[in-house]
């Protein structure tokens, strides 16, 4: 019994004495950063940081007032921002990081490394690049119902990625792609339009250097090659010429040379298989099916001939677009789709690409693109 | 030496005159009780017969009609034997020791003495005032028989006997309490209950050294395995149907005189979250409510500590959608989350305790004033955040879903140390305390049987009647956790295979 009492007091005293060791972070005393933006500073190696924090007050929550600070590194900028707010700045709720174009073109790995080493930063933070300096993007005043721009950007990216428009671009994904031989990272590109943040396309990286942007239409094909679609949407332009005989309104004959067709409920599956034929050869097989959502010209969709023609033409068009996209990446020498990894996954030993080989050879990769399209339903008409 | 001499004196009480007996009894055996009464009757043959009793605990009707009037009408010369023959009541005894006579008088007996005789005759006609069979107050039911045990052990036994009318129901009787003796009955199914359990409980009861046994709740605490524990180790129920159900399942029941509750032993942790309603209702309702109660129990223990820990240390785990509203409501609160929570939890306990102590009518007003008025004002004054109010109310509500009030209260109190540790160590503190509680539960035993069965030791087939309630068709064996003598239930008319007629097709 006496021992028990002694033990009890021992535990009690440990509790009392150790209490000082845990660092308290009471919610309302924190400046919780939701999005951070980093730009190249005005002179030399400086980094200019922009931080969006929560404001726990209903009167203030509609005003966007980012905290700015500059330092020698991203961490330094963050550190120096401590002196610019009465709240304790913390990064545990960081949702997105925006890198300005100047900084991104020089390479963002050193900054990412800091994020990765910070145990409070989630691996699922979105990494993005902006078209203009990030401080301008983060200064947007329109952010709908979101509590601040940071959360708005997070919800925007969530929505866009959730809608399967662009590929995932979390910190984890970026670092994985950066460190892996045979694939380059991609991130969404943010811009500002009418005082609100928008996504304009995908940023292609060579290693950690931002090289170029592709727009949202092209981004669709990146997704088409890499991922399975379960519910997407695609718009394609087709020439009117071949369909003239099926147009229901013969008179007056349509003047436009092309018409638009929109597919929805797209389900797709892609298969990339590398072939060793002396050269680096890849066959890309894509199965693509969906419903017709929109036609800018009325067509006789009852006829099987038309459907077949549409399927064929669409497949051709998709093939064209894909090869255009691939050519572009080859010109820039960025393997954003990761063909190098597909190669390395199949071949062993000497045939495996090293980093130098891959960089050197990527522009010479050859692609056979084979798309089969199927129109499942020709639309629900009301 | 002194004691011996008084004993000798006592034995020489008889023969003597009625008045001397009266004086001796009242002064030496009854400590001069004002309700001690003597009635003297002279028969036709000239014998003087005295009746001694305490009028406060004697049924007057029985006394006059069954005892005094037959003697009064007697014509011949009487002796003890012939008086006994005249009286139709059972349980008579001849007695000549002063102590014994006094003890019997206090239990509601009448002492009949013929002047100058050697012994006297004791007949009992006790008057026990008890409440009639009432609705259960602390354990309410929706479906079942809503009656509760009364204060009288006879009535209680009567109910149990009526519910289990087989000779297999074995009842053992003990008189416990060195100073104020009380009757205790231990009952079990002779053919089902485990022998070890019975012996263990019998040993504990007989070796119990206690001045008195107040009632079942007190007795249950005196024979517990671990008296220091937070958790009750026996179920004390006031529902005869729950009591008998447990006995039928192979457990042991204890009834205590002057106590409107029975003890069930051995039990497991999960049986505190069972109610006979689960059995009366359909199996799906029973299973759902049982799982819900378990969930509510976990919720009631951990909800407010999680709030404290998350807001003090772990802002990063708060979902984005909640962060703003939490921050906004916390923004006006002057206290740290720990203080805020303890204030509100204490207030909740105040309201509960005040409601329990006050008369029912005032109690309801109390609830409104405490719950709505203060709750509203506290938030508006910026004393606590309104999200915490929701959490505290929710966890209090969850703790009231536990059918056993004692267990519910234990769990509610358990919350305070967890909150304290959550406020000083964060999640580590919560995990530490919860782990501590789990270790304690695993070590705890009820009548030397594991408290956490069937989870540990793991017995898959016992889950069908503890955590969930399967349809009776599937419930073919008794819970093995308590090692009943027979696990298989008798093949009786459970299930469809025994319905001999098939019935017509629906559309015939």
Tell me the Cα Rg of chain A.
Answer: 26
Select the more confidently predicted residue: B3 or B172. Answer: B172
In chain A, positions 161-180, which contact chain B (CB-CB < 8 Å)?
none
Contact A54 B327 (CB under 8 A): yes
pLDDT reported for residue B499: 61
- Name every chain A residue with its beta carbon within 8 A of the beta carbon of B311: 26-27
Q: Cβ of A125 under 8 Å from any chain B Cβ?
A: no
Average pLDDT score over residue span B480-497: 65
Q: Cβ of A90 under 8 Å from any chain B Cβ?
A: yes
Band of pLDDT at residue A251, cut at 50, 70 and 90: low
pLDDT exceeds cutoff 90 at A35:
yes
Q: pLDDT per residue over B60-87, tens digit each?
A: 888 888 888 888 888 888 888 888 888 8
Q: pLDDT per residue over B126-166, tens digit each?
A: 888 888 888 888 888 888 888 899 988 989 999 999 999 99
pLDDT reported for residue B487: 73
Contact B324 A24 (CB under 8 A): no
Among residues B306, B325, B374, B326, the alpha carbon closest in space to that of B346 is found at B374
Contact B327 A95 (CB under 8 A): no
Average pLDDT of chain A is: 85
- Return the DSSP state at B489: P
Which range is least confidently modeled, A333-347, B413-427, B488-502? B488-502
pLDDT reported for residue B8: 45
pLDDT reported for residue B497: 56
Q: Cβ of B337 under 8 Å from any chain A Cβ?
A: yes
Q: pLDDT per residue over A60-113, tens digit each?
A: 667 788 999 988 888 888 888 888 988 899 988 999 999 999 999 988 898 888
Select the more confidently predicted residue: B488 or B306. Answer: B306
pLDDT exceeds cutoff 70 at A337:
yes
Q: pLDDT per residue over A16-29, tens digit each?
A: 777 666 778 888 88
**Cross-strand partners of A127:** A97
pLDDT reported for residue B466: 83
Q: Cβ of A145 under 8 Å from any chain B Cβ?
A: no
Percent share of chain B, pLDDT over 90: 33
Distance CA B159, CA B153 (A): 10
pLDDT reported for residue B331: 86
Q: Which residue has the tokens 């960089």?
A: A359
pLDDT exceeds cutoff 70 at B494:
no
pLDDT exceeds cutoff 50 at B1:
no
Global pTM?
A: 0.83
Q: Cβ(B428)–Cβ(B436) under 8 Å?
A: no
Q: Which of A26, A35, A59, A88 to mutate to test the interface with B (most CBs of B within 10 A)?
A: A26
Distance CA A82, CA A89 (A): 6
Count of A-B CB contacts under 8 Å? 68
Q: Cβ of B328 under 8 Å from any chain A Cβ?
A: yes
Average pLDDT score over residue span A236-264: 73
Distance from CA of B325 to the nearest CA of A (A): 8
Average pLDDT score over residue span A169-177: 90
Q: pLDDT per residue over A3-12, tens digit each?
A: 888 988 888 7
Closest-CA residue of A relative to B385 is A28
pLDDT reported for residue B498: 55
Burial classification of residue A353, based on how many CB atoms lie within 10 Å of its CB (0-12 exposed, 13-18 middle, 19 or more buried): buried
- Name every chain B residue with its beta carbon within 8 A of the beta carbon of A22: 313, 424-426, 428
Element counts in chain B: helices (H) and strands (E): 19, 12
* Strands A186-193 and A67-71, bridge-based pairing: unpaired
Q: Which residues of A246-281 are buried (b: 16+ CB within 10 A; e: fewer)?
A: bbeeeeeebeeeebebbbebbebebebebeeeeebe
Contact A56 B333 (CB under 8 A): no
User: What angle in degrees, to the nearest 10, is found between the helix axes of B153-163 and B240-248?
Assistant: 50
Distance CA B404, CA B237 (A): 8
Contact A61 B424 (CB under 8 A): no
Q: pLDDT per residue over B2-40, tens digit each?
A: 444 444 444 556 788 888 888 888 888 888 888 988 888
pLDDT exceeds cutoff 80 at B502:
no
pLDDT reported for residue B391: 92
Contact A28 B424 (CB under 8 A): no
Select the more confidently predicted residue: B489 or B156. Answer: B156
Query: Rounded to 5 degrees, what angle do the CA atoms B280, B281, B284 make?
Result: 135
- Name every chain B residue with its beta carbon within 8 A of the beta carbon of A19: 424-425
Sequence spans of domains, chain A: 27-218, 228-377
Q: Which of A12, A19, A56 to mutate to test the interface with B (most CBs of B within 10 A)?
A: A56
Select the more confidently predicted residue: B363 or B123. Answer: B123
Q: pLDDT per residue over B424-435, tens digit each?
A: 888 988 998 999
Q: Cβ of A146 under 8 Å from any chain B Cβ?
A: no
- Name every chain B residue with its beta carbon within 8 A of the beta carbon of A122: 316
Percent share of chain A, pLDDT over 90: 25
Of the candidates A18, A32, A57, which has its C-beta nearest B328's C-beta? A57
Band of pLDDT at residue A114, cut at 50, 70 and 90: confident
Q: pLDDT per residue over B420-470, tens digit each?
A: 989 988 898 899 899 999 999 999 999 999 999 888 888 888 888 888 888
Q: Cβ of B408 under 8 Å from any chain A Cβ?
A: no
Q: Cβ of A61 under 8 Å from any chain B Cβ?
A: yes
pLDDT reported for residue B201: 94
In chain B, positions 412-431, which contact chain A (CB-CB < 8 Å)?
421, 424-426, 428
Distance CA A270, CA A226 (A): 7
Q: Cβ(A188)–Cβ(A233) under 8 Å?
A: no
pLDDT reported for residue B7: 45
Which range is least confidently modeled, B191-200, B225-234, B247-256, B489-498? B489-498
Contact B316 A93 (CB under 8 A): yes
- Name every chain A residue with its beta carbon within 8 A of the beta carbon of B330: 26-28, 56
Band of pLDDT at residue A147, cut at 50, 70 and 90: confident
Q: pLDDT per residue over B320-344, tens digit each?
A: 888 888 888 888 888 899 999 999 9
Q: pLDDT per residue over B184-205, tens digit each?
A: 999 999 988 999 999 999 999 9
Q: May I ask the CATH architecture of the domain A228-377? A: 2-Layer Sandwich (3.30)
Q: How many CA atoms lie within 13 A of B498 on its CB side?
A: 6
Reduced to 3 states (helix: H, G, I; strand: E, B; else coil), residue A161 is: helix
Average pLDDT score over residue span B480-500: 65
**The two three-digit tokens of residue B173, written as one number:** 């009787």
Of the candidates A27, A95, A147, which has its C-beta nearest B311's C-beta? A27
Of the candidates A25, A57, A61, which has its C-beta nearest B315's C-beta? A25
pLDDT reported for residue B145: 84
SS3 string, B316-380, reads HHCCHHHHHHHHHHHHCCCCCHHHHHHHHHHHHHHHHHHHHHCCHHHHHHHHHHHHHHHHHHHHH
Q: Which residues contact A193 (CB under 8 A, 6 or more apart)?
A: none
Q: Which residues contact B331 (CB under 8 A, 6 or more apart)?
A: A28, A56, A57
Q: Cβ(B28)–Cβ(B16) under 8 Å?
A: no
Q: pLDDT per residue over B101-118, tens digit each?
A: 888 888 888 888 888 888
Q: Cβ of B226 under 8 Å from any chain A Cβ?
A: no
Burial classification of residue A154, based on how many CB atoms lie within 10 Å of its CB (0-12 exposed, 13-18 middle, 19 or more buried): buried
ipTM of the complex: 0.79
Average pLDDT score over residue span A178-191: 91
Contact A23 B313 (CB under 8 A): yes
Q: pLDDT per residue over B243-271, tens digit each?
A: 999 999 889 999 999 899 999 989 999 99
Contact B328 A58 (CB under 8 A): yes
Select the more confidently predicted residue: A372 or B364. Answer: A372
């Amino acid at each position: 019994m006496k021992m028990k009492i002694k033990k009890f007091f021992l535990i009690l005293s440990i509790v009392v004495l150790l209490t000082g060791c845990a660092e308290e972070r009471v919610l309302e005393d924190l400046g919780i950063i939701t999005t951070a933006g980093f730009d190249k500073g005005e002179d030399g190696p400086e980094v200019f940081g922009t931080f969006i924090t929560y404001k726990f007050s209903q009167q203030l929550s509609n005003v966007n007032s980012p905290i700015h600070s500059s330092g020698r590194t991203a961490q330094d900028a963050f550190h120096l921002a401590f002196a610019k707010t009465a709240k304790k700045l913390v990064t545990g709720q960081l949702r997105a990081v925006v890198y300005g174009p100047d900084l991104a073109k020089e390479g963002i790995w050193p900054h990412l490394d800091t994020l990765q080493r910070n145990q409070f930063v989630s691996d699922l933070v979105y990494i993005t690049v902006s078209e203009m300096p990030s401080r301008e993007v983060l200064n947007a005043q329109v952010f709908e119902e979101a509590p601040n721009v940071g959360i708005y950007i997070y919800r925007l990216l969530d929505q866009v990625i959730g809608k399967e428009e662009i590929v995932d671009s979390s910190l984890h994904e970026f670092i994985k792609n950066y460190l892996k031989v045979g694939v380059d990272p991609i991130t969404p590109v943010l811009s500002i339009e009418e005082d609100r943040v928008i996504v304009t396309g995908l940023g292609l990286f060579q290693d950690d250097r931002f090289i170029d942007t592709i727009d949202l239409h092209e981004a669709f094909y990146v997704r088409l090659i890499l991922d399975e679609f379960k519910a997407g949407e695609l718009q394609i332009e087709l020439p009117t010429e071949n369909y003239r005989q099926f147009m229901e309104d013969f008179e007056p004959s349509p003047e436009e040379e092309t018409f638009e067709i929109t597919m929805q409920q797209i389900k797709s599956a892609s298969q990339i298989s590398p072939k060793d034929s002396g050269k680096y050869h890849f066959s890309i097989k894509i199965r693509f099916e969906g419903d017709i959502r929109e036609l800018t010209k009325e067509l006789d969709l009852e006829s099987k001939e038309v459907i077949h023609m549409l399927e064929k033409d669409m497949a051709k068009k998709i093939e064209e677009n894909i090869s255009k996209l691939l050519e572009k990446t080859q010109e820039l020498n960025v393997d954003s789709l990761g063909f190098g990894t597909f190669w390395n996954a199949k071949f062993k030993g000497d045939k495996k690409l090293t980093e130098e080989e891959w960089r050197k050879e990527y522009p010479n990769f050859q692609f056979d693109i084979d798309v089969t399209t199927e129109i499942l339903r020709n639309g629900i008409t009301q | 030496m002194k004691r011996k001499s008084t004993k000798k004196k006592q034995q020489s009480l008889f023969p003597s005159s009625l008045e001397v007996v009266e004086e001796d009894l009242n002064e030496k055996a009854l400590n001069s009780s004002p309700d001690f009464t003597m009635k003297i009757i002279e028969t036709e043959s000239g014998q003087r017969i005295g009746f001694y009793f305490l009028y406060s605990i004697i049924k007057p009707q029985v006394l006059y009609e069954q005892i005094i009037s037959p003697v009064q009408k007697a014509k011949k010369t009487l002796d003890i034997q012939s008086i006994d023959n005249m009286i139709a009541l059972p349980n008579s005894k001849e007695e000549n020791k002063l102590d014994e006579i006094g003890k019997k008088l206090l239990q509601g007996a009448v002492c009949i003495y013929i002047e100058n005789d050697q012994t006297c005759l004791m007949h009992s006609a006790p008057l026990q005032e008890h409440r009639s069979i009432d609705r259960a107050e602390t354990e309410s039911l929706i479906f079942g028989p809503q009656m509760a045990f009364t204060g009288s052990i006879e009535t209680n036994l009567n109910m149990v006997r009526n519910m289990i009318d087989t000779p297999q129901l074995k009842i053992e009787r003990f008189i416990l309490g060195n100073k104020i003796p009380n009757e205790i009955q231990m009952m079990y199914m002779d053919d089902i209950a485990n022998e070890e359990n019975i012996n263990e409980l019998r040993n504990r009861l007989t070796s119990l050294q206690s001045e008195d046994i107040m009632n079942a709740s007190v007795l249950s605490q005196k024979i517990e395995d671990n008296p220091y524990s937070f958790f009750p180790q026996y179920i004390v129920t006031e529902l005869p149907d729950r009591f008998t159900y447990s006995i039928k399942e192979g457990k042991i029941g204890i009834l205590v005189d002057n106590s409107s509750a029975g003890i069930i032993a051995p039990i497991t942790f999960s049986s505190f979250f069972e109610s006979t309603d689960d059995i009366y209702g359909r199996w799906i309702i029973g299973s759902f409510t049982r799982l819900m109660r378990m969930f509510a129990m976990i919720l009631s223990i951990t909800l407010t500590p999680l709030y404290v820990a998350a807001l003090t240390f772990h802002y990063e785990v708060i979902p984005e959608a909640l962060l703003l509203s939490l921050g906004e409501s916390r923004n006006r609160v002057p206290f740290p989350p720990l203080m805020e929570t303890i204030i509100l939890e204490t207030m909740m306990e105040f309201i509960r305790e005040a409601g329990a102590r006050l008369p029912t009518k005032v109690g309801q007003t109390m609830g409104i004033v405490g719950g709505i008025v203060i709750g509203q004002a506290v938030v508006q004054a910026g004393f606590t955040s309104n999200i915490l109010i929701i959490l505290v109310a929710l966890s209090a509500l969850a703790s009231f879903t536990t059918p056993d009030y004692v267990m519910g209260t234990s769990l509610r109190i358990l919350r305070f140390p967890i909150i304290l540790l959550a406020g000083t160590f964060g999640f580590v503190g919560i995990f530490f305390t919860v782990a501590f509680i789990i270790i304690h539960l695993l070590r705890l035993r009820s009548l030397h049987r594991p408290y956490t069965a069937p989870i540990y030791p793991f017995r898959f087939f016992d889950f069908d009647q503890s955590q969930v309630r399967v349809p009776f068709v599937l419930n073919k064996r008794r819970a093995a956790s308590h090692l009943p003598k027979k696990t298989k239930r008798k093949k009786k008319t459970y299930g469809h295979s025994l319905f001999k007629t098939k019935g017509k097709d629906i559309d015939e």
